[in-house]
Structure 1
Amino acid sequence: MLDAQEIAIRFLDTRLQVHPDVVRYIQEQDNPDLIERIIAGVPADTVVVSAKHIPGMNATRDGMRFLTDPTVEIVSGGPGTSGSINSSADYLHYFRDRYSKLGGMIRNRCSSMPIEGLTRSPRYRQEECTVIGMVSEVKTTTNGHRIAEIEDSTANLSVLFRKDRPVFADAERLIPDEVIGVKGKLSTDGRLFFAEQMFRPDIRIDNKPYLSDKPGKAVFISDVHVGSNTFLEDSWLRFVDWIGESGASYLLIAGDLVDGIGVFPGQDQELTIKNIYEQYDAFGEMISGIPHRIKIIVAPGNHDVVRGAEPQPVIPEQFTRKFPENCMLVENPALVNLQGVRVLMYHGRSIDDMIGLIPGASYEQSGKMMEEMLQRRHLAPAYGRRTPIAAGKSDHLIIDPLPEILHTGHVHITGLTQYRGVLGINAGTWQSQTAFQKQMNVNPTPAQAVMVDLQTLVPETFTFL
């Protein structure tokens, strides 16, 4: 992807300013020649280059056409795009891709040097510099400091985060396999790097979300769990009546459409529908009650009949025979475009891992967990834990490009957050408290839906108990 600062400088060289939306559009097209074509085409009296100077920009955001009537375009995560693992070599490509993309985001904000260049050259000892690496291990010393092992493509480095330094607050939230930049000094013996500042890929503080220029509303839900004896059928019927009168154009469902079969030991004792085909048939009949003018976008979750490893493919055709024609199937995760407003749908299984790794995190803080994803620009930073990941040649879980809305589920607790121009929505569940949740003291927020006005990105929560 082209560097945003370099794009802006090229315009400034010709005494032009450029709107951030145009910069992002050029980055998404990833075509250096486009800059020169735009500069050549603007009128002589132009001061700021905006969307109006680029024919078709508003109609080709994300490289494809979107309409302002109730239609949706899939930017990524369409059927058949998740791919498969062909060999163990894919794992090497996967982590290289993750490091390259996330490291590049950090590198755009600070100059850095390879770890090997730092450790092998004595002239860098005790000189302040920055290195970028992937965290391979994090531990706490007996004195309460934090040490992280990081690595890039050249070498490894031990980084010390002292508890009496401001940077320690960032170090407490370090997750294995995330990519960070660290500014500090190398010890005189070259064995330890003393950190003074840490950088994450994060979102720029001046990020501004795109707002639709046409009326439109989207409704967000998750974790329907059809087939479970705790599914709230009466609440669902109230929801269907409501959405028909709500003025919504889109309904997005972020996984766990059904409760599934054999997902956990003894599950059959908690099912009212014990045949997986019948569960999906029941779900299809339920969403058929929603007016056909509403586009329904459906992604899978860990209870659905697809592989557990992420990215997860779409629900197979043999299970969707009763889904209505206004239903669109996407993978998990998927980036969809609603009237120019981009929504990143992700079921959210990695929240389990993040809660276990970040001090003080809990299931009641689903909004905070979405912020942690956005700061790391990754949906599932920690590899090899409770969230299985299919390591293909590219990392489909990197958050790039930035969405206007991040839509998750999985934890069954509704959560909302606003972080640097991105609206985070965890859409709760349509299942009352299960036996397992009661045992774990998890209190769900069932039968809720979040509706967002696409012209303002203001969310509103509705309850149907």
Structure 2
Amino acid sequence: MTSELRRAIAKILSTGLQISPDAVDALARRKDAFEVACKVIEKIGTLDEKPIVLTAELLFKLIQEEEAKREEEVIDAEKIPVDEEVIFDPTQVINPDGSSEGFISYFLSRYQKIKKILLRERFDVRNTITISQIKKWAQRGRGVVKIVCMVTDKRKTAGGKILLELEDPTGSIRAVVNEKDPNVLSKAEKVIRDEVLCIEGQLVGDIIIVSDIIQPEIPIPSIRARESKPRILAALISDLHVGSKYFMRSAFNRFLLWINGRLGVEKYRKLARQVKYLIIAGDIVDGIGVYPGQEKELLVRDIKKQYKMAAEYLAQIPGHIRIIIIPGNHDTTRQALPSPAIFRDYAEAIYKLPNVRVLGDPAYIKLHGALLLVTHGRSLDDLLTTTPGVRRDRPAEVM
């Protein structure tokens, strides 16, 4: 039984309803079991005669009624005002001079935030100490230590051991992962420099012999995201690479026809009418000098002309649709993350479009109450080149 199905059943039972085995089987076949359960409970609440047992027959009936209702409720996004809030845009906070103080502040902030995630999400990270406290800890005869730290260096010996240099705001220490402990060694293989994690182990002299490596979980929101009312949509795209020989001009022209309601069967034209936002997650253009030999693959070798061409395409998006753009590694911005918005000097044509908003990478935005993290994902390239056992065609493993 999946966690999604368990949540769905628990939600139904919490209302006092019983659920039949055939209804459980029906829910098990749906990937959105919890969402279906919430909608069914809401629907049952409107009935004059409320059932005691939720059967598969009743479940199907209520689902069909809800889906039919949603088919009828086609909202014209043109009549809905923009409801947009920028929660975080790195453009406003990045130190442009790249001073050492800026880097120190960034890494300290990153350390503190990930430490909070570890302490909040992982019960096995409680009772950690700082590196500066380790000597006092050892003097009391307590050889087992647990610290939250950043990995500043990682090396593998000829014998198969992994050596880690660890640091926190109070000091630094070395740690060793023994090649005879396959479980910990497997975790250590995937550790990368600058990663914040929890190390547990035995203190021998001034070195930690690692017995466990604990990495942060992805925080789970305590409040379930709700569908916006009225039901409007955001279209998510990226990597146009305008200016390249490989820009998919025909496919993008079809996209423009669809979003203008001029292409597709009626079902998909209805979807187009509900689009209020278009989010483009980087690489609007192919850029110049991004990689060796790129000039052979360019149709347009002037970066300003690339952005002007991109603007001409985006100008064909209906004016009521808000376009939100962040940079990618092919765009004109600082290559280190976080990156500020695309530099206006090169992309003036994009900035002049009245329905466009340009932000940095990553950006947090809220659209009609729904929180979105928008990022190009260039950090995945760094992880793919530094993490053993991961593959480019399976990006979920890296994330």
TM-score scaled by length of structure 1? 0.60
CA distance in 2, matches of 1:157, 1:357: 22
AA of the residue aligned to 2:208:
F
Task: Give the C-alpha shift of residue 328 in structure 1.
Answer: 1.0
The Cα of 1:181 is off from its aligned counterpart by 1.0
> Aligned to 1:223, which of 229, 239, 249?
239
What do residues 152-181 of structure 1 show as CA deviations (whole Å, max 9, x unaligned)? 122222222334253333222101011111
Task: Show the counterpart of 1:293.
Answer: 320
Higher mean C-alpha deviation, range 133-142 or range 93-102: 93-102
Residues of 2 paired with 1:293 and 1:71: CA distance?
12
1:320 and 2:348 equivalent? yes
* 1:212–1:339 Cα contact (<8 Å) kept: no
- Counterpart residue type for residue 170 of structure 1: K
Instruction: Select which of 282, 292, 299 maps to 2:309.
Output: 282
Shift of 1:289: 1.3
SS in 1 for 2:393: helix
1:240 to 2:267 alignment: no
What is the distance in 2 between the residues matched to 1:88 and 1:224?
35
1:410-448 deviations in Å (ceiling 9; x for gaps)? xxxxxxxxxxxxxxxxxxxxxxxxxxxxxxxxxxxxxxx
Task: Give the structure with the larger helix fraction.
Answer: 2
Over 3 Å counting, the alpha-carbon distance change for 1:168 and 1:86 in structure 2 is: closer
Partner residue of 2:94? 82
Which residue is equivalent to 2:200? 183
Q: Residues 316 and 143 of structure 1: is their aligned pair in 2 closer, same or farther, counting only changes over 3 Å?
A: closer
2:187 maps to which residue?
A: 170
- The alpha-carbon deviation at position 254 of structure 1 amounts to 1.1
Larger radius of gyration: 2
CA offsets per residue over residues 110-141 of structure 1, 9 Å max, x none?
Answer: 22111121134433545433111110111223
Q: Counterpart of 1:320 in structure 2: which amino acid?
A: E
Distance of 1:333 and 1:342 partners within structure 2: 13
The 2-side partners of 1:92 and 1:256 are apart by 29
Relative contact order (C-alpha < 8 Å, sep 6+): which is higher?
1
Write the distance in 2 (CA, Å) between the matches of 1:165 and 1:279. Answer: 51
Deviation of 1:101 after TM superposition, in Å, equals 2.3
- What is the identity, as a one-letter code, of the residue corresponding to 2:153? E
Q: Equivalent residues in 2 for 1:32-431 (5 A)?
A: 69-77=81-89, 79-85=91-97, 87-108=99-120, 109=122, 110-163=126-179, 164=181, 166-187=183-204, 190-204=205-219, 209-214=224-229, 215-244=231-260, 245=269, 246=272, 247-318=274-345, 319-321=347-349, 323-369=352-398, 371=399
Alpha-carbon separation, structure 1, partners of 2:189 and 2:337: 27
- Asked if structure 1 preserves the Cα contact closer than 8 Å seen for 2:90 and 2:339, the reply is no
Counterpart-to-counterpart distance in 2, 1:226 and 1:210: 35
- Greater shift, 267-276 or 227-236, is seen at 267-276
Most deviating of 283-292 and 74-83: 74-83
Deviations 1:273-302 (A, max 9, x none): 222222111111101111222211101122
Partner-residue secondary structure (3-state), 1:308: coil
Output the CA distance in 2 between the equivalents of 1:205 and 1:260.
37
Tell me: CA distance 1:315–1:92, structure 2 relative to 1, closer, same or farther (3 Å).
closer
Give the drift of 1:76. 0.8
TM-score by length of 2: 0.69
CA displacement at 1:86 relative to structure 2: 5.8
Structure 1, 132-141 or 266-275: larger mean CA deviation: 266-275
Q: CA deviation at 1:209?
A: 4.6
**Structure 1, 334-343 or 251-260: larger mean CA deviation:** 334-343
> How many residues matched?
301
User: Counterpart of 2:331 in structure 1: which amino acid?
Assistant: D
Counterparts of 2:397 and 2:182, CA distance in 1: 24
Would you say the 8 A contact 1:125–1:186 is kept in 2? no
- Stretches of structure 2 that go unaligned for 5 or more consecutive residues are 1-79, 261-268
Q: Quick one: percent identity of the two aligned structures?
A: 32
Distance across 2 between alignment mates of 1:204 and 1:136: 25
Q: Show CA shifts across 1:178-209 (max 9, x none).
A: 1111123212xx23212222222322467565
